[in-house]
Chains A and B, each alone.
Chain A
């Protein structure tokens, strides 16, 4: 075991030479923090590990810019609850990662600090919005990172970069200190190179927070209880996925599911008839909640008014949110979205009723080439069709690299029942073993 200082120094050197633009800010005190860990006689679960944090999570003393000019000079005055928990387990915060501005996007191109490169597929977008948190794992610039997932922002870049990413059950991980995109959908979750790493981080950050209205009283020893024996597991496959997904990706996913079957799992067909309604439901919710969440960036406290300096996608969402939340549209958009959300949630839970997990693709298409920015928002939003249902239903979902298509990683998405994290992680670990 290298010391914390050795471990952190190694990564700092690598970051120095890195060309992926994964980080917006490096923690100048990382070595000092690592020294403090080395001095401790009794060390925590993350002792000396270098942890990268998405730039929409508050880490005291570091910039929580959300990759936006709006917050370019905002230095966090407090630690998010997840950061407190990481520090308590002796993880060392190495820096703040690049992202789509205010987590609005799934390409990694909308950052005010420049786009992020995909180290696993040169010339392609890394996915987003937690772009830098995924690429910092793929480029070996840290041990574990944190991202946030509102409609796929952890799973999408995990898929495109070929790393492990995990979006927990809504409420399992405290959001206190996470800068909002859509409060009813946002969840913080880990990226890691292996399932064990993600499970360990999940174990550290999950559990009830007394200072928050929406956390759940649950936390299992996810890493401790990892068990790759999935014989007897029922794994659902969704018939609607195929029609929406690039057939080359489907082929790769089918091969992966076959591997799970070989591990003793039983494959069961399930259906999500309203799958595509997830997109409008999701985006209407995001627009309204994001509009509300950004009212505090009025230029009085954080330097710049958001509408004056933000990028096109952020502005589009604010203006749409402002438009559809008007009194005259009460009941027409947001309320309808909430109603539809209940419907989709019920449908997802129904599909999960008789299976342990659902396995399938993460993103329906391969990541596009950098510079080929998609101008039509509807085309762009369609990339999220397979990831938003988990957020709308509040269920957990993990992504692990299934294989490659034309040299580009594609991720296998495993979705489970509310608080069914352990089974998802078990399936992922079984797959990890089979893939080796």
Chain B
């Protein structure tokens, strides 16, 4: 059964001031109703300031990253009227499209526009906090060209990556909000609101697909309606029937002259704009010969991708890509940090990889060093020296360890001599443990063979 999905995604732009006034956007860190003024609380007589230029530029850049054509005609800021306690003026200001007809992963991007966040209403206490009122949002509307929950999840992951590449949206969790439209062949379109994460979107879509399929199986029709996603229960619940859709009575806001985007602006943004992640992946695969999967991981974060390109100048790119994928990513995941947040520098990685290549430390030691760096970034050379983890080559320590290991693992040693070759690996492991991974496994194996076979 064919499934058709479209998204509307809202992200907060990471500007220090609101869209139509100078109030700070740090609404979560402060007491309720402290980041407010007569503009963002809609006091009688107040007028919007000229539109926040950073927010306009951010929306243009995001639209360009999504391959949109930028609108050169006057872009009006509209008033969208509806009655809700969190809207101080009885309307929300929302721009007409700044960019149109883009695409990402083969999914059409219908439009990118700017709008203001409303305040926060608590239905339980009846109180409204206007700190959030007027925080700039960028809204991205996709074409209904996603055909499964899984594709939806992949699309959203890629979109989040693109947005983070721009560096223009808030990255702390919980600021993204999305609505999704979903319809199954033979059914009507259902809108799901109140989704706050990619995981939530995936769960909501799966729930909804199952719900709609079951309805159809039982011969019932799927109504056109708006449903809310309840994150706590991972289900969707009917909000209101779409038939009684609100009339927002849009008018261009007479207080705000339309925005005009000139070619110079577009060119100046293009000059500083990042390469889109999927293009970067293709280039990495082509230029450095890294595998597609590795390229995907390298491009998962802009700072990591940039670091990789610097590393690849000094270390074999394939070796570096492999190691970043297996080791660095493992450590970042374990510490729940992005590469940027980890504080690890590209030169540290270069240093570490070179020590491994020169045989100064073992791969095992390399793992330990990056684990330490993950918690406390620093020069790998120093870490190795301070902790005495330099590779043990032929010396008394290693020979003693080999002798002891043979003595303690007589059974395995005898099995080896009896023709069971793999038994020796067990003894190698024992030596590794004794030397805390500082000895090269190949050297150990060679020494063991010499010792046993003489």
A residues near B (Cβ < 8 Å) are 56-58, 64, 66, 71, 74, 76-78, 80, 175-180, 182-184, 210-214, 288-289, 291-292, 294-298, 300-302, 322, 325-327, 334
Contacts and interface: CB of A to CB of B under 8 A. Distances in A.
Interface in B41-58: 42-51
A315 B113 CA distance: 34
B249 A175 contact: no
A242 to B, nearest CB: 33
B90 A176 contact: no
Contacts of B257: 213-214
Interface in B61-118: 79, 81, 83, 85, 88-91
A78 B43 contact: yes
Nearest to A324: B249
A295 B251 contact: no
B263 interface: no
A213 B249 contact: no
B45 A58 contact: yes
B173 interface: no
B44 A213 contact: no
A295 B91 contact: yes
B255 A213 contact: yes
B103 to A, nearest CB: 29
A77 B50 contact: no
Give the 4 A-B residue pairs with the shortest CB-CB distance, closest first. Answer: A295-B90, A183-B254, A184-B254, A325-B249
A166 B354 CA distance: 80
Given A58-B45, A176-B47, A179-B44, A213 B256 contact: yes
B29 interface: no
B122 interface: no
A117 to B, nearest CB: 27
Given A183-B255, A289-B251, A327-B247, A71 B45 contact: no
Given A64-B45, A292-B90, A296-B42, 13 more contacts: A57-B45, A77-B38, A77-B43, A176-B47, A179-B45, A182-B254, A210-B49, A213-B47, A291-B249, A292-B81, A295-B91, A300-B85, A326-B249
Nearest to B253: A183
Nearest to A211: B49
B47 A211 contact: yes
Residue from A78, A182, A295 with most neighbouring chain B CB atoms (10 Å): A295
B46 A213 contact: no
A78 B81 CA distance: 26
Nearest to B255: A183
Contacts of A211: 47, 49
Given A212-B47, A213-B51, A213-B257, A292 B251 contact: yes
Contact of B83 (A58, A298, A327): A298
Contacts of B254: 182-184, 289
A308 B248 CA distance: 22
17 contacts: A66-B44, A71-B44, A78-B38, A175-B47, A212-B47, A212-B50, A213-B48, A213-B255, A289-B251, A291-B249, A292-B79, A295-B83, A295-B91, A296-B88, A296-B90, A325-B251, A327-B247
B247 A326 contact: yes
Contacts of A182: 254
Contacts of B247: 326-327
Interface in B205-229: none
B251 A302 contact: no
A116 to B, nearest CB: 22
Nearest to B256: A213
Interface residues of B, number: 28
A296 B44 contact: yes
Contacts of B38: 77-78
A298 B90 contact: yes
Nearest to B49: A211
B91 A178 contact: no
Contacts of A71: 44
In terms of DSSP, what is the predominant structure of the interface of chain A?
Answer: loop
B91 A213 contact: no
Contacts of B89: 295-296
A177 B81 CA distance: 22
B441 to A, nearest CB: 70
Contacts of A294: 90
Interface in B4-50: 38, 42-50
A74 B48 contact: no
Given A292-B81, A292-B91, A300-B85, A334 B251 contact: yes
A214 to B, nearest CB: 6
A89 to B, nearest CB: 21
Contacts of A325: 249, 251
Nearest to A294: B90
Contacts of B253: 183
Contacts of B255: 183, 212-214
A249 B247 CA distance: 47
Interface string B223-259: 0000000000000000000000001110101111100
Given A58-B45, A296-B44, A213 B81 contact: no
Contacts of B48: 212-213
A74 B79 contact: no
Contacts of A78: 38, 43, 46
Residue from B46, B51, B81, B247 with most neighbouring chain A CB atoms (10 Å): B46
A301 B247 CA distance: 24
Given A179-B44, A213-B51, A292-B81, A301 B251 contact: no
A417 to B, nearest CB: 20
Contacts of A57: 45
B81 to A, nearest CB: 6
Contacts of B42: 296
Nearest to A71: B44
Contacts of B46: 78, 176-177
Given A77-B38, A184-B254, A64 B44 contact: yes
Contact of A213 (B49, B83, B248): B49
Contact of B249 (A296, A301, A302, A322): A322
A59 B32 CA distance: 26
A74 B38 CA distance: 13
A76 B51 CA distance: 25
Given A214-B257, A289-B254, A298-B90, A74 B44 contact: yes
Contacts of B47: 175-176, 211-214
Contacts of A178: 45
Contacts of B256: 213-214
Nearest to A327: B247
A294 B251 CA distance: 14
Contact of B49 (A183, A212, A298): A212
A334 B250 CA distance: 11
A289 B81 CA distance: 12
Contacts of A210: 49-50
A326 B249 CA distance: 6
B359 to A, nearest CB: 65
B258 to A, nearest CB: 10
Given A213-B50, A295-B90, A177 B45 contact: yes
Given A213-B257, A326-B249, A295 B81 contact: yes
B80 to A, nearest CB: 10
B130 to A, nearest CB: 11
Nearest to B20: A213
Nearest to A178: B45
Contact of B88 (A76, A184, A301): A301
A302 B90 CA distance: 13
Contacts of A292: 79, 81, 90-91, 249, 251
Contacts of B79: 292
A179 B88 CA distance: 15
A175 B43 CA distance: 14
